[in-house]
Structure 1
Amino acid sequence: MSLHPTLQPYADAWTHSIEAISELVTPLVEGEWNRRTPCPGWSVRDVVSHVIGLDTEMLGDPRPIHSLPRDLFHITNEHQRYMEMQVDARRHHTAPEMTSELEYTVIRRNRQLRNESREPGHLVRGPMGKEITLETAMRNRAFDVWVHEQDLRAALGRPGNLDSPGSQVVRDVLLGELPRVVAEDSNAPRSSAVIFDVHGPVEFLRTIRIDIQGRGTLEATPALGPAAIFTLDWETYVRLACGRTTPDAVADRVKAEGDQELTAAILRNFAVTQ
């Protein structure tokens, strides 16, 4: 048996990003592992620890038995507390310990993917102990490692791979969140439309159309007379949607036209990652 065709793009995206992460961090000296990344509260070491931790969970390894300190002020909810456990357990690991564990984890995960014969709908254990489909789990890993690859690139001054296979997964996941962001979180007017025009390494033009019941749907065709239009580059879109920056910090890179209250509300609710 081989990997199901539905899962192959996620495996390819994960592989591309994890290899890029390994290439980025392998030559780092000890002090560079402490560099701050755009991911709130996390250093280079913390980001790599998180990547290792979630991939070992995909392998079925037990989570570390560890008590979190009380002074981690970037932890504000249970989801973040769950994610922090794998990170804090490795906070005192040396550079060689980090790179060797990353390398070993990648070898094990590659072997797992080569032997994966389960169907996309097979239920597996996800974060917080919740059961999710294998397809969702693999999509989440592809999303996660690409976003964290970009965190590391920002911290280390090594931009790149904005159009790699992982970017396509990230685009689709973030677009899937837009109807909720616009219609529910930002309370866009009923029977209206909002357009997003994104340019750069990844380009797309999408409309969120809100029906008479206030439900939002994603469409590929532009709407006439939209309530708002956003024009921005792909990197800024990702940084906003993943909570790596604030609307004020990138105001010069986002052109928002139309209803000012609505555009402000959408930008305020744009971050969809926890």
Structure 2
Amino acid sequence: MSPTRWGPPIDVLPYFSKEEQALMTLLGALTDEDWTRPTMCAGWSVKDVAAHLLGDKVGRLSRGRDGHTSEGPRPGEPFPRFVDRINEEWVVACRRLSTDVLLTMLYEFMGQTTEYWAQLDLDVLGEPVTWAGDEPAPRWLAAARDYSEFWVHHVQIREALEHTPLEAEYAEPIADTFVRALPHTLRDVDARVGKQVGYTVTGHGKWYARRERDGWVLDRGAPPSRTPLASVTTDLDTFWRLCTRNAANLDRVRTAGDENVCAVLLGMTSIIA
């Protein structure tokens, strides 16, 4: 897999099956009361989030593997609103299913998404990853986007259940995926060519974006410049919550440099919102 303006490729294929198995082990042991517990997704229970995960899986297979074209946004409907609407419609429809039926469907489709990504050339450009830009993105970024969304919802379910945290190994690609929104996040920041900004997720890596003539380019590591335009440092738990618009403890965030650019960095969104 080749580097791009979004930085070096991310290989999430080794993580898909293990994360799915951990999720199904968790869901298979739930009580009736567990399924109804509220999650941090407003208005959604544990069952609703599990149904949303099923929708993501079958939607990926239908669009990507089977070439199925479904409805698009209504006239004048912004794309994020369209996504919110169809997600809600799916979840509401799945409330008609028993938990046994939902589990059966999850068991049926879980491994198929792993197989789908494994058979593709992940260097090839595919659909846009909209939070990373409007242009076609390499498939490895789309696969990483899918994995990161599954991981976030898995964590949300565990937190709702007050269950043990998901094993740290499953989080290894998360910071490296979400930070790929950085070039798109900085698109309106006016800086001279060569200027850099840095983002550090403690214990998980350092990244920097460098201004080129045609936009910002991401790379791993600390900024080569001793005086980056701006930099942000935080831990993974705070980082993923910031990137997904969940409540985060800003006391765990350290910033340096241009305050306006730091504010842009802290507004980075790695979901469709």
**Category of TM-score, reference length = shorter chain:** 0.7 to 0.9
- Within-5 A mapping of 1:1-274: 9-60=11-62, 77-106=81-110, 109=112, 113=115, 117-120=119-122, 135=140, 138-161=143-166, 163-165=168-170, 167-181=171-185, 183-184=186-187, 187=189, 189-191=191-193, 192-200=195-203, 203-211=204-212, 213=213, 215-219=215-219, 220-222=221-223, 223-245=225-247, 249-267=248-266, 269-274=267-272
- Note the residue ranges of structure 1 that are not aligned, 5 or more in a row: 1-6, 66-74
Report percent identity of matched pairs. Answer: 23
- What SS does the corresponding residue of 2:200 show, helix, strand or coil? strand
Amino acid at match of 1:255: R
Deviations 1:87-121 (A, max 9, x none): 221124333233232223336x27x8299645447
Give the alignment's TM-score, normalised by structure 1.
0.72
Contact 2:199 2:207 survives alignment (8 Å): yes
Structure 1 CA distance for aligned equivalents of residues 196 and 128 of structure 2:
35
Cα distance in 2, alignment partners of residues 141 and 259 from structure 1 = 33
> What displacement does 1:241 show?
1.0
Give 1:40 shift: 4.5
Q: Is the 8 A contact 1:162 1:235 kept in 2?
A: no
4+ residue segments displaced more than 6 Å: 121-127, 131-134
The number of residues matched between the two structures is 245
Secondary structure of the 2:246 match is coil
Unaligned runs of 5+ in 2: 1-8, 71-78, 130-135
The 3-state SS of whatever aligns with 1:89 is helix
**Structure 1 contact 14–141 (Cα < 8 Å) conserved:** no
